[in-house]
């Protein structure tokens, strides 16, 4: 079963098994000292052409063409994603919890960011071993699909009770920065299964889904105009009150990433965005 097929059944009890390749620590160490592919490509061009009787202008143009042919290496991109995941894991075990990609939370609302980092914190860091990593152009299926720059990473791990655990993570890159988009583990799947079996009021569930869909549509529109807003999560289940509001609600057409950055600094807790009518309300939740 592929990882995409797993998304059709997010409460499955186990993650897909992968062949052992290398540990997270070894992967980071291995790539930490790796030469920059673009730099090496440029060096080779200079070596071959610096002694040739080229005019200055043509030599400069040659460098430009050489750089255009030295595209970003896929292994380097994966290494960036692995480092970002490692930092997210470190933060999950610290006193300052990590953040998660807002679109990932919107597309897969069965688990919130707290669910993910609390379960990640139960893993012994030194036990994590990467079993596979690959680049994805799109992630999810159907209404859950989103396209962009993704790195998918799977790991074998051990929890604090020495139970074997399998983990899977997907990170999305926006403006050159990777953020945790999706994380699941055996333990988290078990938690989500028990939560689903507990049931709940059907009307409340549908109302939440409708609110989620509306907020997702508005969110998709504002981040398309201002990608920097990706860093602020959505909070559909938060209770809106005057004490939680960080400034006045704004119309989606008027929201700015710079304004939200200033407001986020005023919130010592979880800063998130929700809808009040047709306006976006920044909350300190």
Cα(35)–Cα(12) distance, rounded to whole angstroms? 41
Cα(125)–Cα(141) distance, rounded to whole angstroms? 31
Note whether 263 and 229 are within 8 A (CB): no
Residue 105, C-beta contacts closer than 8 angstroms, at least 6 positions apart: 112, 113, 233, 234
Instruction: Specify the pLDDT at position 140.
Output: 92
- State the DSSP code for 159: B
Instruction: Specify the pLDDT at position 206.
Output: 61
Cα(42)–Cα(62) distance, rounded to whole angstroms? 10
Instruction: Specify the pLDDT at position 129.
Output: 96
Distances (CA, A) of 211 to 205, 207, 234, 275: 10, 6, 11, 8
Note whether 234 and 106 are within 8 A (CB): yes
Cα(133)–Cα(166) distance, rounded to whole angstroms? 14
Which residues, given as ranges, of the chain have pLDDT below 70? 1-71, 199-210, 236-238
Average pLDDT, the chain: 77
Instruction: Specify the pLDDT at position 26.
Output: 37
């Amino acid at each position: 079963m592929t990882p995409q097929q797993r998304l059709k059944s997010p409460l499955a009890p186990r993650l897909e098994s992968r062949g052992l390749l290398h540990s997270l620590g070894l992967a980071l160490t291995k790539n930490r000292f790796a030469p920059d592919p673009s730099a090496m490509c440029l060096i080779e061009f200079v070596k071959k052409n610096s002694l040739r009787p080229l005019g200055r202008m043509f030599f400069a143009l040659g460098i430009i063409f050489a750089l255009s042919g030295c595209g970003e290496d896929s292994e380097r991109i994966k290494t960036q994603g692995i480092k970002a995941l490692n930092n997210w894991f470190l933060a999950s075990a610290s006193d300052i919890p990590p953040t998660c990609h807002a679109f990932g939370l919107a597309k897969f609302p069965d688990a919130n960011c707290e669910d993910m980092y609390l379960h990640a914190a139960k893993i012994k860091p030194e036990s994590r071993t990467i079993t596979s990593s690959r680049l994805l152009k799109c992630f999810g299926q159907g209404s859950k699909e989103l396209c962009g720059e993704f790195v998918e990473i799977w790991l074998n791990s051990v929890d604090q009770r020495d139970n074997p655990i399998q983990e899977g993570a997907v990170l999305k890159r926006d403006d050159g920065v990777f953020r945790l988009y999706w994380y699941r583990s055996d333990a988290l799947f078990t938690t989500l299964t028990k939560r689903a079996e507990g049931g709940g009021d059907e009307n409340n569930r549908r109302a939440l889904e409708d609110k989620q869909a509306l907020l997702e549509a508005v969110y998709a529109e504002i981040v398309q105009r201002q990608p920097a807003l990706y860093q602020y999560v959505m909070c559909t289940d938060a209770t809106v009150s005057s004490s939680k509001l960080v400034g006045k609600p704004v119309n989606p057409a008027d929201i700015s990433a710079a304004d939200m950055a200033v407001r986020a600094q005023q919130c010592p807790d979880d800063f998130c965005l929700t809808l009040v009518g047709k306006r976006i309300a920044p909350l300190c939740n």
